[in-house]
Structure 1
Amino acid sequence: MRATAGSVGGFLTYVLLSSFVPALMNQSLAGHLTVGLALGLGQFVIMGVIAWRYLVHTRTHVTPIARGLRGLARQQEAVDQVRAAEQAPAAPRGPFDPRGGDFRTW
């Protein structure tokens, strides 16, 4: 939430400065580099840092929880399969059932 507010706030500040204070944005910093151009390039840096921090947060907080939930789901699925196998009635064997009965090979 803070990252979103920071990035949107920075972008909004940049747009407002370029709209209402063009003299500030056109001031030269070094050679052809102006304040507006430097702030515009800074937007890319900010987005890169936010994306990097998002990846770090996901790896450290979200991924372990997702792995734990996935393991619990697999355990529950295995338990459900065992219960279903135990509760399933045995199918009657017909005369041509390969598991028994009167079926014979040549």
Structure 2
Amino acid sequence: MSRHSTGLGGPPPPYETGPEPADRQPVSREPAYQSLRRSHRRFGVRATAVAVGGFLLYVLLSSFVPGLMNTSVSGHLTVGLALGLGQFVLMGVIVWRYLVHMRTRVTPVVRGLRGLVRHHETAERERTAFEARTAPRGEEYRPW
């Protein structure tokens, strides 16, 4: 008995997806959806660039300008320690801006698209129910 036939090893069975439901295809083609994706992607790229840039600046300053990083600001607080603690502030600002971005730009568009999907689903259900009521029923009119 092989490992594949017992399901105990080997690659998992391929994931098969059926055709995309008809009510979801128009939503991905909506200009609002495309705008939402672009806006979210742009924000993600900018936030990542700021975070990585801040970390990179800190590392480069620590490596190439140790005299500056060891300069005392107040007591035992050095410029390097202040910049290191500033990384937490930077992350907090990025998270705050992400939440503001989601609340002001993403959530309203998502609500509108959700309403559009519900409208498509309702229209599809009504169309199906109407076709079921008006379709001829072959079994009811059988000859004796």
Displacement of 1:22? 1.4
Separation in 2 of the partners of 1:28 and 1:61?
43
Partner of 1:96: none
Partner of 2:78: 34
Q: Secondary structure at the match of 1:29?
A: strand
User: Identity over aligned residues, as a percent?
Assistant: 68
List, as ranges, runs of 4+ consecutive aligned residues in structure 1 with deviation greater than 4 Å: 90-93
Q: List aligned pairs for 1:22-101, cutoff 5 A.
A: 22-88=66-132, 89=135
Which one has the largest radius of gyration?
A: 1
RMSD: 1.5
The higher relative CO (CA closer than 8 Å, separation ≥ 6) is in 2
- Point out where structure 2 has 5 or more consecutive residues left out of the alignment: 1-44
Displacement of 1:4? 2.2
Q: Which of 17, 25, 29 lines up with 2:61 in the alignment?
A: 17
- For residue 19 of structure 1, what is the amino acid of its counterpart? S
Displacement of 1:58? 0.8
- Point out where structure 1 has 5 or more consecutive residues left out of the alignment: 94-106
- For residue 92 of structure 2, what is the amino acid of its counterpart? G
Displacement of 1:7? 1.8
Separation in 2 of the partners of 1:71 and 1:42?
42
TM-score (norm 2): 0.60
Separation in 2 of the partners of 1:73 and 1:2?
30
